[in-house]
Structure 1
Amino acid sequence: MDPVRARRRHLVRLGGGLGRRPRPRRRRPCPRRAAPRRHPAPARHPRGPRDARRRRGAAPVRPRRGHRHARRPAARDRLDLRHRRRPAGPVPPGPDRVPGADVVSALRDGAARPAGVELTVVIAAFDAEATLGEQLDALAAQRAPFGWELVVADNGSTDGTAALARSYADRLPVRVVDASATRGAGAARNVGVSVARAPLVAFCDADDVVGDGWLVAMRTALRTHAFVAGRFDAERLNTPRVLRSRTVPQTAGLQESTRLPGLHAAGAGNMGIRADVFRAVGGFDPGCLFLEDTDLCWRVQLAGVPLTWVPEAVLHVRLRGSVRSSAQQGYHYGTGERWLALRYREQEDRLRALASAGAPAAEAVAAAVPAVGAVVAAEGPAAGRPGSGEPAATDPGT
């Protein structure tokens, strides 16, 4: 090694000033400090005199009441305050709210019934988005010189039935109620009548179309008679092939009962009844999933209220178009016939005995009314329930 270099290195080790300057030591960057923050912390608010008082242990300075920095109550407290300021009294039912027993009792007593509403139209609907719009258009085109309302009882639809009905709020006095607690068209109609605000009730279905002047004809008939039924027309909504393959009842008169002589039946899709009579007989039987309208017609007539034919109230009925749907409907009707046969077995024997003795039909029914009425009252509207099943179709028995 060169002696000069050796001497310089020796002097550097001894700390002398003759050696070369030592190189500055490089600092390796820390990975954590060098990497940017994924979530940068918010900038801290500059400390003020209030923070200094907290650091010294003094009591915090609170703004006076009414100052803009004063603490406002939480959102929950504000909602509670608004709720407490609400005036006392019954809460009017909303579009999706089915009122409880207190509201139903108020409606029955007439306390919550607004002035001017004379007729309530009830539609039981289940997955009827494809056909309900045509029915609502026909109701919106009605010219009624009186107050009326529309109640759509949704029986648990999974499509846009409820939303479609609410979209007509600017054209119709419509309310949508949840009737999914019990499956079946009869149970849905019962829910609709329970929230009705009028003393007169008319029924139509979601897959049919009311004719011109239907509202006026129903209201006029119900002001004179307590239980009415209109006429069916199948020419407008069905093809000639479907018309040739089906027989449409209730086109020239009421349906005659082959099981109970002297009694008539009608489809619930074109029917009207006074609300007090409907509630007195118990409404539609929720246990009767098929031919529930026939059961209601028999119970009302056996209670002493006749069924009146109103041909001016025309309803355009939509028949089942496919073979499969027609076969399924026939099976449902057979189930309903068996249910009616089991329930009215004793009444059928009594009426047939009176008819065979030569008594006119009207006198035979009048003679059987006390016994039949006592049996129906003892059994209740849900007696002889056959069990659960699929939702009943909302067509008028065709």
Structure 2
Amino acid sequence: MTGGTAVDRPPIRHNDYSPLDPPPLGGWDPELSVSVVIPAHGGQHRLDLTLAALAAQTYPASLMEVIVVDDGSDPPLRLPEIVPSNTRIVPSAPGGWGIAHALNTGAAVADGRIIQRLDADMVVWREHIEALARWHHLTDYLVTIGAKRFVEDPPLSPAQLHERVRAGSLEEVFDLSKALPSSTEQTIFRTDGLRNSRNPYHVCTGPTVSMRRETFHAVGGIDPGVLRGEDTEFAYRLATHGVVFVPDMAARAVHLGIPAQRRDRQRAVRAVAPYLAHRVPLRRDLRKDGGRRWLVPYVEVVMHVGAVEETGEERVRAAVSAALEGSVADVLVTLVAPWSRLPEGRRPVLGDPSFELRLLREHFSHDERIRLADEVSPTPGPTPFRYTGPVSVPLGRDSLERMIAAVQDDRSGLLVVDLGDEGQATLERAEALGRARLLGADDVVTSIKATHGVRHGDQAEFWPVRPAPRPQPSPRPQAGKPLPAQSGRAERQGGKAECQGGRTAPSTPRLPSPSSGLSAPPRSWRARLRSAIRTFRAG
């Protein structure tokens, strides 16, 4: 249990948080403050029920504040009679609208060490906030997810609901056996509480989620440009940041009303698809349009070209082309060199000491698929993978595809490929790099080995040698017809006749040499006409 500044950061393997041992509900003393941020647009009655339930929480009232962000409600929202002691309404910040914008507004003014998102139509059990917050007292790189089911609005006033929550008797109000289950809960149970999940961010879908405040801000908050699926996109960025997702089914809640996905699933799915296609590269099913460029690439390819005088301009250009023309087209190439230190102003163009580097900059600075950087960023996130390799070994057409398949197969965080005398190439998983950074690892490779695993391979596995094409047998000639290859060769050689098997392929004969002893070929009609005129004049 940690509080204050001391934080224990155990190296959790993938998403298996089993080493963490949360305290029993009611059997511990909380220390971290919690800010419950509720984005709301209209729906005053449901908001009243949400606040009435929050007013009956087991988490200490002195450590909890509630911030309702009014996202342009008409009429404006008001605080009802029954609310937690430290509750306020703030308007959504100017210049934007929507759930993401409202959440960012609330997080910006939150004082709590933990930020708890809660929808304005959620009714939570009395231990809900405590159940999620207890995990954040263990370590600081977790995202906790509460349970939820969908029900119709209860025939209760906020005061009546408040009493039921405080008494721990909400089961008498909501018949959970008839409630509509959440698909996320089904995934949680199927993957042993997300311990075995390959992509646990999939179930981090909004209505009740909590994390440390610094974690929320470290990934830039929620993208206000995403109007549908903003919770999934945010969770994906949290995943590449290296967090661990912990669902706690003791944090029970019901969602009032049937979700939009159930009312019109096809339209809801279509509304989300373009937002996630551009921002979540792991959703390969959404990136099937050929020839497209996406906001967040699938792979970053890093090449160090600072010693271009030794490497050679043509070699760099060939390596870049190989990266962009491979079977994985969704690529961003980063060329690392001291670009910003190139002096500007008047200089001898041909005698410039940085002549080679300037040529490269001009070659690539106008291509949106290529980025010029002075140094490598600590992590490629939100791009999920980063390849780094020498310019002297250009990527094969399917090298990236093979490498990604390898790390996806065993979920390793780092692949190291031995390239012999040319050194090595690596493929890093952003999630693993992010985890190493969150753990404060001095040795990144050792950290990744502990949390995700390191895989090794050789060049032949990912740069396979293509077999030489087998020679094709020569076709048998037909009488009176030239062979196709010979016909083409005869045309290129000015009509040389070829003999095969005693048969002569017709062609235009060459002029004989003077010593050949052969008669001259027939002359053209102009030559014959001129000869006849000379003969007539001579006679």
Give the structure 2 partner of residue 250 of structure 1: 184
User: What is the deviation of 1:292?
Assistant: 0.5
User: What is the deviation of 1:370?
Assistant: 7.2
Cα displacement string for residues 262-281 of structure 1 (whole angstroms, at most 9, x for unaligned residues): 34231211100111011010
User: What is the deviation of 1:172?
Assistant: 2.9
Q: Partners of 2:247 and 2:412 in 1: how far apart?
A: 16
User: What is the deviation of 1:153?
Assistant: 0.5
Give the structure 2 partner of residue 149 of structure 1: 65
Matches within 5 A, 1:1-398: 118-145=33-60, 147-160=63-76, 162-163=77-78, 165=79, 167-168=81-82, 171-179=84-92, 181=94, 182-225=96-139, 226-234=142-150, 248-254=182-188, 262-265=199-202, 266-320=204-258, 326-327=263-264, 330-345=266-281, 346-347=297-298, 356-357=405-406, 359-361=409-411, 363=413, 367-369=428-430
Which moved further from structure 2: 223-232 or 286-295?
223-232
User: What is the deviation of 1:344?
Assistant: 3.0
SS in structure 2 opposite 1:175? strand
Letter in 1 for 2:410: P
User: What is the deviation of 1:121?
Assistant: 0.4
Q: Partners of 1:355 and 1:200 in 2: how far apart?
A: 35
Letter in 2 for 1:312: A
Cα displacement string for residues 155-184 of structure 1 (whole angstroms, at most 9, x for unaligned residues): 000035x21x26446x53101110063111
User: What is the deviation of 1:234?
Assistant: 3.0
Cα displacement string for residues 123-157 of structure 1 (whole angstroms, at most 9, x for unaligned residues): 00001213111111111111223511000000000
Q: Partners of 2:178 and 2:275 in 1: how far apart?
A: 29
SS in structure 1 opposite 2:38? strand
| TM-score calculated relative to the size of structure 2 | 0.41
Cα displacement string for residues 222-259 of structure 1 (whole angstroms, at most 9, x for unaligned residues): 2225311111133575999x969x662222454999xx
Instruction: Report if the CA contact (8 A) 1:355-1:364 is conserved.
Output: no
Letter in 2 for 1:264: Y
Identity of aligned residues (%): 22
Q: Partners of 2:124 and 2:143 in 1: how far apart?
A: 18
Count of residues in correspondence between the two structures = 249
Instruction: Report if the CA contact (8 A) 2:150-2:258 is conserved.
Output: no
Alpha-carbon RMSD:
3.7
User: What is the deviation of 1:337?
Assistant: 2.1
User: What is the deviation of 1:347?
Assistant: 2.9
User: What is the deviation of 1:360?
Assistant: 2.4
Q: Structure 1: which 5+ runs fail to align?
A: 1-115, 374-398
SS in structure 2 opposite 1:206? coil
Instruction: Report if the CA contact (8 A) 1:262-1:362 is conserved.
Output: no
Q: Partners of 1:304 and 1:313 in 2: how far apart?
A: 23
SS in structure 2 opposite 1:367? strand
Letter in 1 for 2:54: L
Letter in 2 for 1:368: R
Q: Structure 2: which 5+ runs fail to align?
A: 1-30, 155-173, 282-296, 300-327, 329-383, 386-400, 416-426, 435-539
SS in structure 1 opposite 2:111? coil
Q: Partners of 1:188 and 1:361 in 2: how far apart?
A: 36
User: What is the deviation of 1:198?
Assistant: 1.0
SS in structure 2 opposite 1:317? strand
Letter in 2 for 1:210: V
Instruction: Report if the CA contact (8 A) 2:35-2:116 is conserved.
Output: yes
User: What is the deviation of 1:336?
Assistant: 1.7
Letter in 2 for 1:267: T
User: What is the deviation of 1:216?
Assistant: 0.9
Letter in 1 for 2:69: A
Instruction: Report if the CA contact (8 A) 1:235-1:316 is conserved.
Output: yes
Instruction: Report if the CA contact (8 A) 1:166-1:176 is conserved.
Output: no
| TM-score calculated relative to the size of structure 1 | 0.54
User: What is the deviation of 1:309?
Assistant: 1.8
Letter in 2 for 1:279: H
Change beyond 3 A, Cα 1:141–1:236: farther
Change beyond 3 A, Cα 1:148–1:370: closer
Which moved further from structure 2: 348-357 or 192-201?
348-357
Letter in 2 for 1:144: Y
Change beyond 3 A, Cα 1:199–1:330: farther
SS in structure 2 opposite 1:120? strand
Letter in 2 for 1:326: R
Find the structure with the greater CA-based Rg. 1
Structure richer in helix, relative to its length: 1
Q: Partners of 1:368 and 1:217 in 2: how far apart?
A: 31
Letter in 2 for 1:262: N
Cα displacement string for residues 81-117 of structure 1 (whole angstroms, at most 9, x for unaligned residues): xxxxxxxxxxxxxxxxxxxxxxxxxxxxxxxxxxx77
Q: Partners of 1:313 and 1:185 in 2: how far apart?
A: 22
Instruction: Report if the CA contact (8 A) 1:232-1:249 is conserved.
Output: no
